[in-house]
């Protein structure tokens, strides 16, 4: 009884597998047929140019190759003309040929894959141009405290740029740094450099330069600005204008004779 049961089950399983296989083959046959039919219609060789155009540089396609090789040619290449029509493969562009892993023929030398398929990327500037401008007094005396101002803007965007600039007096590298808009919000594009009297006292009489140097950051490119200023002799000694003759103090009006306190009677 158990034996019969197993046999019956086996038969059903086999029948099921057979049915499945049958169903598979019958359902697969139409798709198998459609894949074998070529998606590209056979190129008509008559449309291909048989001679090179006058301006070969402007020729962008089509190019030809053989199914039995991995070389693409200009259609007028004598090597290409040897390809049997049933083996001929036509590529609309070099990019198409390269996409199919074909390489340029060394006889007719068609445009190479890399330059024509991927246009050479023009290097995009990583930093935007900036313009720094320093200004301040054209002349001041030794020992006089002065303030210089610098503005820093992006040229194209007309935006404020902020950060630290280096400054140099007479190209003296150890000038220091100078914060443009130290708050860092870039709400203002200018910053002041304050030179105390003790600092300007060290400068010689004559012409000096003040150079500011913005090194740039990841967004904004570097820029510089230079101005000249003249330091004169200290005001009190040499160029001191004489004190104006002191206007005499006005004769004080005499205090009015105080009226005597009234004698208090108790
Ligand atoms: Zn060729």
Separation of CA 194 and ligand 1 centre (Å): 74
Compute and round to an integer the Cα radius of gyration of the chain. 46
Residue 75 C-alpha to ligand 1 middle, in angstroms? 8
Q: How far apart are the first and last CA of the chain?
A: 151
Q: Which helix (H) or strand (E) holds 33?
A: helix 2-36
Instruction: Determine how β-strand 190-195 pairs with β-strand 146-154.
Output: antiparallel
What is the residue-averaged pLDDT of the chain? 75
8 A C-beta contact, residue 135 and residue 142: no
| Residue range 58-79: mean pLDDT, rounded | 93
In angstroms, the CA 154 to CA 35 distance is 59
Give 218-233 pLDDT, tens digit per residue. Answer: 888 889 999 999 999 9
Confidence check: pLDDT of 176 > 60? yes
Helix (H/G/I), strand (E/B), else coil: 153: strand
Residues with CB under 5 A from ligand 1 (ion): 73, 77, 79, 105, 107-108
**Least confident piece of the model among 12-26, 134-148, 194-208:** 12-26
| Predicted confidence (pLDDT) per residue in 20-40, tens digit | 344 444 444 444 444 444 444
């Amino acid at each position: 009884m158990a034996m019969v049961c197993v046999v019956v089950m086996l038969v059903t399983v086999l029948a099921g597998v057979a049915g499945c296989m049958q169903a598979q083959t019958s359902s697969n046959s139409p798709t198998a047929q459609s894949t074998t039919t070529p998606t590209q219609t056979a190129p008509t060789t008559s449309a291909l140019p048989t001679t090179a155009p006058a301006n070969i540089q402007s020729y962008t396609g089509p190019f030809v190759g053989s199914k039995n090789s991995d070389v693409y040619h200009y259609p007028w290449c004598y090597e290409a003309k040897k390809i049997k029509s049933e083996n001929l493969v036509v590529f609309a562009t070099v990019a198409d040929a390269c996409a199919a892993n074909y390489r340029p023929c060394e006889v007719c030398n068609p445009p190479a894959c890399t330059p024509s398929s991927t246009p050479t990327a023009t290097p995009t500037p990583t930093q935007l141009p900036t313009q720094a401008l320093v200004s301040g007094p054209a002349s001041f005396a030794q020992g006089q405290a002065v303030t210089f101002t610098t503005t820093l803007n992006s040229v194209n965007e007309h935006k404020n740029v902020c950060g630290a600039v280096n400054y140099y007096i007479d190209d003296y590298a150890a000038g220091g740094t100078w914060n443009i808009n130290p708050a860092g919000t870039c709400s203002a594009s200018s910053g002041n450099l304050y030179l105390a009297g003790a600092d300007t006292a060290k400068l010689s009489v004559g012409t000096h330069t003040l150079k500011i140097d913005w090194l740039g950051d990841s967004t904004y490119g570097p820029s510089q600005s230079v101005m000249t200023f003249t330091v004169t002799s200290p005001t009190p000694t040499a160029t001191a204008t004489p004190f104006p003759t002191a206007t005499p103090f006005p004769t004080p009006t005499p205090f009015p004779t105080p009226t005597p306190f009234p004698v208090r009677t108790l």
